[in-house]
Amino acid sequence: MTDSEPPASSRRRLAGRLADAVVSPIMGAVDVESVVEQIDVQAIIEQVDIDALIQRVDINELIAAVNINALIQRVDINELIQQVDIDALIQEVDIQALIIRVDIQALIERVDINALIQGVDIDALIQKVDIGALIGQVDINALIQGVDMNAVLETVDINALMERTEIGAIVARSTTGMFGQLLDVARSVVIIIDLLIHKVLGRIIRPRGDNRPGVPGDIDDVVQTSLVSKSETAVALQGHFAGPLSRLLGFVTDQFLIGSIFTAAQFLFGVAVALVAGVSWNPADHRLLTATVYVLWAFTYTVTPLAALGRTPGMAIVGLLVVRADGSEIRPRDAVVRTIALPFSFVLFGLGLILGLLRRDRRQLQDLLAGTAVIYTWDAQLARLRESRAQT
């Protein structure tokens, strides 16, 4: 005889079979999706305590089960952001980990940098930045190499910069001292006298001008000397043809230096001969040799600096420069021809020098033969700076 089943267990199995028999046909006949569409989900959500629900739900498991990308496509992100406490969210987010995962370049391309900068408190940002550490990360040499300094300097008004700072005063006080200031004054006075001579001669005679393009400028009617200072006049006439007085002073200075150096050399040579050979040396007893050496010395003194620098020491003191007639740099051949032709300017009562008084380009005989011209060229800007500082 077998054990009989408990009555309770028999009843549960019977109820299950009955439910299957009744519910299954009903569920098979019901369109579940239609039923879901008939449900007012919003009304159900309003009746649900969302906070309590969230506390009971394992959010991490829920997120793992949800297709986040598909969810984001259906969510109005902008409206969601407006509802979020951004400050609290930032505090909870690992910013460094977020930055590592973000494509910064793509983000920058989508951001309006100008609008972003306008919204930033630059002063507060600078106070938080370690400037020293930032500079330490910058390759200064590479930065400088990437800057076109010529283009930068072309945009800078050097004169205005010096006038607005103390740089001009420092330069004016520190360069060449008292001798330089006196020399600037002397050069400016000489230029004024040159202008007066040209104007007087211009009223007496009106020679033809040399209007070829590219030649140094004529100084006639360049500035009104009665309206500007001597230094302003000197600045305006830089690069223009030099006048007779400045050229004469340069020539006289050179002759003085040639004679002085030659005399000193003669004296030293006489002392050396007396010490070595035990005999005295009298230049008067060797006039032909002395004259020949003097001519060679004067030629060398004139040609060497003229070919190398475009000016002799005397010209440099006065502030003159020898250039070719078209304004280009003088060549050694031009220096030799000009030096050889110079004595011929004194022939027949100095007609070669007088020729320079009659021409608008002030070129004398030696200039015409060598194809050269003499122009003013010295740092008149510094002279004007000194004068303006002295007046203030």
| pLDDT by residue, tens only, the chain of 392 residues | 445 556 666 666 666 666 666 656 666 666 666 766 777 767 777 777 777 777 777 777 777 777 777 777 777 777 777 777 777 777 777 777 777 777 777 787 887 777 777 877 777 787 877 777 777 777 777 777 777 777 777 776 666 665 555 455 545 454 555 666 778 778 888 888 888 888 887 777 655 444 444 456 555 445 555 545 666 777 778 888 998 999 999 999 999 999 999 999 998 988 888 888 878 878 778 889 989 999 999 999 999 999 999 999 999 999 999 999 988 899 999 999 999 999 998 887 788 888 888 888 889 999 999 999 999 988 766 666 655 555 55
233, 191 contact by CB (below 8 A): yes
Distance CA 145, CA 133 (A): 21
Backbone angles phi, psi at 101, to 5 degrees: -85, -10
pTM: 0.54
Distance CA 304, CA 336 (A): 9
Structural tokens at position 128: 């938080």
Length of the chain: 392
320-324/372-376 β-pairing: antiparallel
Q: What letter does residue 346 receive in the DSSP assignment?
A: G
Distance CA 202, CA 266 (A): 46
Spell out a b/e string for 7-17, using b for 16 or more CB atoms within 10 Å of the CB, else e.
eeeeeeeeeee
